[in-house]
Amino acid sequence: MKPERILLNYKKNKVLYWMILPVITYVCIFNYLPMFGLTMAFQNYSLTGGIFGSKWIWFDNFKDFFQGLYFQRTLNNTLLISFYTLLFAFPAPIIFALMLNEVRHTGFKKIVQTVSYMPHFISMIVVVSLINDFTNSNGVIASIVATLGGTPRSYATDPASFRTVFVISEIWQQIGFNSIIYLAALSGISEELYEAAELDGAGRIAQLFHVTLPGIASTIIIMFILRCGALMTVNFEKILLMYSPATYETADVIQTYVYRIGIIKQKIGYSTAVGLFNSIISLGLIVLANNLSRKYTEVSMF
Amino acid sequence: MAKRVLAILLIGLLALSSCVALADTAEDRDAIIREKAKLTTKVERLTEEPVTLTLWADTKNNGAVGTLMEKLDDMEMLKAMEEKTGVRIECITPPVGEDETAFSLMLASGKYPDIIIGFHNYYAYSGDTAIEEGIIVNINDLLDYAPNYKAAMEASEFRTKSVITDEGNIPYIAMPIVADEPGLNVGGPIIRKDLLAKLGMDMPTTYDELHTFLTRCKEELGLKRPMALDSNGASKYDGLTAGFGFHLKNICTTHAFYMEDNKITYAPLTDGYYEYVSTMAQWYSEGLIDPDFASVVTFDDGVAMITSGECAYSTDHSGIVGMYNSVGKTLNPDFEFGIAPIPVRNAGDKVHIGSSSGATCYSAAAISTTCANPELAMRYIDQWFTDEGFMMANYGVEGVTYEMVDGMPTYTDFVMNNPDMDSVAILSAYATPVTWFSEYVGCRDISDATREVTGIWDEQNDSVGVIPGAVTLNSAEKETYGDLYSEISSYVEEMTVRFIMGLEPLENYPTFVEQLRALGAEEAIGAYQSAYDRYLSR
Amino acid sequence: MRLRDSRLRRIFVVVNAILLALIGFCCLAPMLNVLWCSISDPIALTRDQGFRLLPIFPLNFSGYETVLGYRNIAIGYMNTLIYVVLGTALNLVLTTLAAYVLSRKRFAPRNRVMLFLAFTMLFNGGMIPNYMLVRNLGLLDHYAAVLLPSAFSVFNLVIMRTSFAEIPDSLEESARLDGANELQILVRIIIPVSKATVAVIALFVAIAFWNSWFTASIYLQDRDKWPLQMFLREILITTSQRSLSSGVRMNTVVQQTLVKYCTIMVATVPILCIYPFVQKYFVKGVMLGSIKG
């Protein structure tokens, strides 16, 4: 757009331009400025030297990461945990919403709904503390295993159980709250469609597949794309609270590694490089998901 | 042959000399304390208008915070000192368990608190580097403001040598020990004596005997966690590891370097370490070790686990036994923990590395460059080195925590025989915590009764392997060491836990050692070795 | 009625109801357990671990006494309130301003600006550059360090903009004829009409601030500014073998577990009390938002 047109537009709508200035400034400072900080990824950054005083080592940081001890593990864990979350925790609210939708007794429905929202409002710290209670060798899980005849052990420090525990806790926390949007979408499907389907002789199951699901399909897809965007960040704060050196093998994801190396060990250049790698993959995934979706379903975010 | 004997003697002498500061005997030590009790030098008023200094200190080993006092600022002595000097101290404490992170963040922020306690514990590089980088002040420049501290440090050549680096700087304010009895071990294994009696067993002295005891505890008494282990797979005060010939942690040093035959060795590279790890792995698979040991949070505090009766053997500070017993007895009247000897491979073996409070703690505090008034900070710290400050820091409040008996300050029953708290914690609240700045009375935490009992550990330990605290790395060495060590130590910690828990098969141990070498363990050793050689030639 | 009541259908309804009840129970049970534990007898609590459906008698409220007297909890609550209130206000102001402008067709560069803003959803500098930014701005150890980095989210902007754009132009036009300026239109017309959406976003933001702990952990050294979650983290999660292994008072040791549960209750009960009342707003708001797709 030509600058003269903008100037004209500005003269006519001065206030609008001023109203949006704070947000633009904010985004410039807090979103775009740090992107310049990504140059640290290519340096052997030192705090006292700053950006201009630190040595440029170009791709050495990346090389160290890719050839290092922890590359495979962190990448694996990031992808696996995300994948399992997507596989199990994504459909759960949908199924829950579908189940709720079948209930006609409004009192019962309301109670179940209200109770199901509760876990979402409990803070992460409390949830992890509850998880620790459950999974240590004295906890509920262990006693259930014992009564079923197995040998109880500590699940909190068991790397093999980590992903399971993590995904289940995600489901527990979000199943109720995330179902809201699907319930909303379900209520948007017009009754006539169901009646028409019934007239055509479709049973309940057929109705599910031909009326219900297509009706909320666009919602599901948008939510899915959004989830893909969060794939690489994988709720790392929760992992940070849950993991320990015993479970690093399956719990250590890229973001938690960045935290340990960057914040605790202060290897700033290196950790920025790892973080950059993470962001690029994340961007790639979301673009991929979006484009695939646009191609096959005509629904997309952008 | 003669050369070898000489070398061993030399090492022994050096080790001993690292323990002895000013006095050779307990009588000398008492004489010094008596002299100080006469209060010849007093605390003086430093400023008319109130001034505040910020102070960073961790509460890792401070049992008083959270129980006797809500935060460090509530320390009696801080308040008393404030009244006398006019200087108020505002304490900044890192979140519990996050000391390393908090220190890094503090460094990264560029805004440092005025006084930082334990700086050298967390800082990866040398004191010289810290001065160069402009983080802390060279104490050398401030000595004129601290006549008492200066006198204290010049009282012995050993002390003077300890604090000056090779480049002539004084990065830290030291915490010299008045005098101490070499080889006084404050921590080690503790055992449920009532269970021993129940099983009709003698005190286990070897690993095999210990294994039998633990197995019987599990099978006959149904204990779920016969032995407790630290979350990094080691044991506090090296109680369990010392018998295999190496040590992992010490009070003042935080790394697994020790001395063998005049050479610096790194524990994980030795055969002894493999023995330890495989033994523990075996015991873990037999269910003899607390299954939750590795988690960041145990189902409760480790204390609650022990007092609930599920644990028969642990390693801890000797002063805590009394407390465990008084709590445990409320649930089980027979409950009784007592001191156990450090297990060894064969009966009668000596342990070469023990946790000896005889080693001088090198440094206590640093003054940062962002302190607005470093002279005042120095003068404030100097007050703690006056006679009055000495009494306050070590003994606390007259009538409450100590009484004068024949001109000698003596701890009261409130401190020594308190059923609710152990003496170190009480003194941390009424006097000052162990690692703060003052001339420190070496055995404030041990009553005669406990000393009798901890004598067991002293007998076993000949401290030959302890690296003298005065061995310091210079800038170049610290840089090599600092860069490598953090990565190596995290790797060791993770792998140790995995081996013990059986997550990593022991066949992979050689790969572990190789990886250590690949990460640069040998170079780290080299750095330490050259520092030691330099110390010898000093 | 869109179905016949067949036997199969009835079985399905029953099974469905049972499953839902089970899910509901699972959602409720852990907190119920905490509730009962917090008033149970501490010695029995330490001895028998396990799930409780009912408290262990004799009832004991001393845990609450301890926790409520704990100064840090009060400090934490105060700070969290500050963060939630200021943070939500900040977010609402920025988001409504931007959403309004970007929903006006007469704002020529609106698509360009939207793109400029939306890109930040796809890509950002990452943890370390963000930390360096806050550090270099001198915000470390200030309330602003927690407030500013989370003061605005493009995601919320998109939702609000869509909602604003739905409002018929006629409303705005008539307001302009009455002589209202931009701000007045925004505040008097647009926001009241989109009440539900604004409320939903305010709620999302408030909850996010209530729960946040990570930014506080890396930006705030000063305990006096810590939000409640940071103290909780210390008490509940990092109280490990490291800390109070010596010097612990006898009754405190036995009370350890009890205090833990009471702390959880004290920290969570307020939010649990509020959310049932507020849920109808966000249900409505999400519904409206979702129908737009």
Q: Each residue of C52-86: pLDDT tens digit?
A: 677 777 777 877 877 777 777 888 999 999 999 99
Check residue A26 and give its pLDDT: 95
CB contact under 8 A, A275 and C290: no
Please report the residues numbered 474 through 503 in chain B whose beta carbons come closer than 8 angstroms to any beta carbon of chain A: 486-487, 490-491, 493-494, 497-498, 501, 503
Question: Considering only residues 30 to 89 of chain C, which have any Cβ-Cβ distance to chain A shorter than 8 Å?
Answer: 30-31, 34, 49-51
Note whether C241 contacts B301, CB cutoff 8 Å.
yes
Same domain flag for C169 and C37:
no
Q: Which of B67, B108, B111 sits opposite C247 (nearest CB)?
A: B67
pLDDT at position A269 is 87
Q: Across the interface, which of A6, A176, A187 has its CB nearest the CB of C109? A: A6
Out of C45, C60, C75, a domain closes at C60
Question: Is B64 at the interface with chain C, CB within 8 A?
Answer: yes
Is it the case that residue C248 has pLDDT exceeding 80? no
d(CA B92, CA C223): 8
Selecting from A136, A249, A264 the residue whose C-beta is nearest the C-beta of B100 gives A264
Of B105, B294, B494, the CB nearest to A263: B105
Which of A126, A269, A116, A106 has its CA nearest to residue A178? A116
- Domain A60-297: assigned CATH number: 1.10.3720.10
Q: What's the gap in Å between the CA of C246 and the closest CA on chain A? A: 23
**Residue C39 sits in the same domain as residue C53:** yes
Return the pLDDT at C289.
56
Same domain, C141 and C151: yes
Contact C108 A5 (CB under 8 A): yes
Q: Which of C10, C31, C60 is the last residue of a domain?
A: C60
Which C positions 199-218 lie with beta carbon below 8 A of chain A? 207, 210-211, 213-214, 218
Would the ipTM clear 0.85, i.e. be above it? no
Considering only residues B538 and B2, tell me which one the structure prediction assigns the higher pLDDT. Answer: B538
More confident residue, B271 or B459: B271
CA distance linking residue B339 with residue B336, whole number of Å: 10
Measured between CB atoms, does A116 come within 8 Å of chain C?
yes
Same domain, C29 and C132: no
CATH number of the domain residue C69 falls in: 1.10.3720.10
Query: How many domains, in total, are found in chain C?
Result: 2
The pair phi, psi for residue B384, each rounded to 5°, is -70, -15
The answer on C248 and C177 residing in a single domain is yes
Task: Check residue C90 and give its pLDDT.
Answer: 95
Q: In which element (H, E) is residue B338 found?
A: strand B337-339
Q: Is B295 on the interface with A (CB under 8 A)?
A: yes
Give residue B297's pLDDT band: very low, low, confident or very high (50, 70, 90). very low
Six token digits for residue C183: 């701000």
Of C71, C141, C253, the CB nearest to B303: C253
C178 with C46, same domain: the answer is no
The residue among B253, C101, B277 whose CA lies nearest residue A21 is C101
d(CA C48, CA C42) in angstroms, rounded, equals 10
Most A-contacting residue of C34, C113, C128 (CB-CB within 10 A), to test interface: C128
- What's the mean pLDDT in B267-295? 85
- Among the partner-chain residues B59, B106, B420, the one whose CB lies closest to the CB of C249 is B420
Domain coverage including residue C12:
1-60
Region B305-313 average pLDDT:
78
The gap from C-alpha B128 to its chain's centroid, in whole angstroms, comes to 23
> What pLDDT is attached to residue C240?
38
pTM, whole model, 2 decimals?
Answer: 0.81
Distance CA B98, CA B93 (A): 10
The predicted model gives A18-25 an average pLDDT of: 92
**pLDDT > 90: percent of chain B:** 3
Give the count of Cβ contacts less than 8 A between chain B and C. Answer: 142
Query: Based on the domain organization, do C165 and C291 belong to the same domain?
Result: yes
Tell me whether A24 touches chain C (CB under 8 Å). Answer: yes
pLDDT tens, position by position, A246-258: 888 899 999 999 9
Q: Which helix (H) or strand (E) holds C66?
A: helix C62-69
- pLDDT of C9 strictly over 50: yes
Q: Residue B405 pairs with which residues in a beta bridge?
A: B408
For residue C258, what is the nearest residue in chain B, using CA coordinates? B300
- For residue A134, list chain B residues with Cβ-Cβ distance below 8 A: none
Could you report the per-residue pLDDT of B188-246, keeping only the tens digit for each? 788 888 888 888 888 888 889 989 999 998 888 888 888 888 777 777 667 777 777 77
pLDDT of residue B300: 36
Q: Let me know whether C67 and C212 are in one domain.
A: yes
Q: What is the pLDDT of residue C50?
A: 64
Tell me which of B275 and B451 has the higher pLDDT. Answer: B275
**The pLDDT value given to residue C87:** 96
Name the residue with higher pLDDT: A134 or C206: C206
pLDDT at C170: 87
What chain C residue is nearest to B104 in terms of C-alpha separation?
C218
**Tokens 């020594």, residue located:** B416
Residue B178's pLDDT is: 66
Q: What is the pLDDT, as a whole number, of residue B229?
A: 82
Kindly state whether residues C56 and C100 are assigned to the same domain. Answer: no
Q: A190 or B476, which is more confident?
A: A190
Sign of CA dihedral C278, C279, C282, C287: negative
Least confident interval from A103-107, A206-210, B88-92: A206-210
More confident residue, A28 or B398: A28
A147-164: buried (b, 16+ CB within 10 Å) or exposed (e) per residue? Answer: eeeeebbbbbbbbebbbe
**Residue B65: closest C-alpha in chain C:** C244
Write the pLDDT tens digit of every residue in B384-424: 888 888 888 888 888 888 888 887 888 887 877 776 666 66
Residue B262 near residue B11 (C-beta atoms within 8 A): yes
Residues from chain B that touch A153, judged by Cβ atoms under 8 A, are 291
Nearest C-alpha in B relative to A48: B133
pLDDT of residue B182: 46
Mean pLDDT on B509-527: 86
With beta carbons under 8 A apart, name residues in chain C contacting B424.
246-247
Q: Which residue has the higher pLDDT, B326 or B442?
A: B326
Determine the Cα–Cα distance for residues A204 and C12; give it in Å rounded to an integer.
11
CB-count exposure of residue A79 (10 Å: 0-12, 13-18, 19+): middle
Please check whether residue C99 is in contact with residue C189, taking contact to mean a CB–CB distance below 8 angstroms: no
Question: Are C158 and C279 contained in the same domain?
Answer: yes
Tell me: do C130 and C255 sit in the same domain: yes
List, for residues B133-189, the tens digit of each pLDDT value. Answer: 888 888 888 888 888 888 887 877 767 776 777 777 888 887 776 654 444 566 778
Q: What is the pLDDT of residues B322-332, one digit of tens each?
A: 667 776 777 77
Question: Per CB distance under 8 Å, which residues of A are interface residues toward B?
Answer: 47-48, 69, 129, 132-133, 136-139, 153-154, 156-157, 159, 243-246, 248-249, 260, 263-266
Question: A171-180, B333-342, B396-405, B469-478: which has the highest mean pLDDT?
Answer: A171-180
Contact B101, A263 (CB under 8 A): yes
Cβ burial, residue C271 (10 Å; 0-12/13-18/19+):
middle
* pLDDT confidence bin for B13, thresholds 50/70/90: very low
Q: Compute the nearest-CA separation of A262 from chain B (Å).
A: 10
Which secondary-structure segment (H or E) carries B253?
none
Q: Which pLDDT score is estimated for A229? A: 67
Neighbours of C256 (CB within 10 A): 21
Confidence of residue A165 (pLDDT cuts 50, 70, 90): very high
Domain boundary among C28, C60, C92: C60
Tens digit of pLDDT for each residue in C173-196?
Answer: 888 888 888 888 888 888 888 888
> Taking CA atoms, what residue in A is nearest to C280?
A114
Q: What is the pLDDT of residue B389?
A: 85
pLDDT of A300 = 65
C146 and C125 housed in the same domain: yes
pLDDT for residue C48: 64
Asked if A208 is an interface residue toward chain C (Cβ–Cβ < 8 A), one would say no
Pick from B364-378, B428-442, C117-131, C147-161: least confident: B428-442
CA distance A262 to chain C (A): 7
Q: Mutation target for C interface from B71, B122, B301, B316: give the one with most C CBs within 10 A.
A: B301
**pLDDT band for position B298 (50/70/90)?**
very low
CB A65 within 8 A of CB A270: yes
| Shortest Cα–Cα distance, A231 to chain B (Å) | 26
- Which residue, among C136, C225, C248, C263, would best test binding to B if mutated, counting the most B CBs under 10 Å from its CB? C248
Give the residue with greater pLDDT, A132 vs B69. A132
**HSE-CB of A105 using CA atoms within 13 angstroms:** 10
Q: What value does the mean pLDDT take over residues B249-273?
A: 69
pLDDT tens figures, C104-119: 888 888 888 998 998 8
Report how many Cβ contacts below 8 Å link chain A to chain B: 75
pLDDT at B253: 47
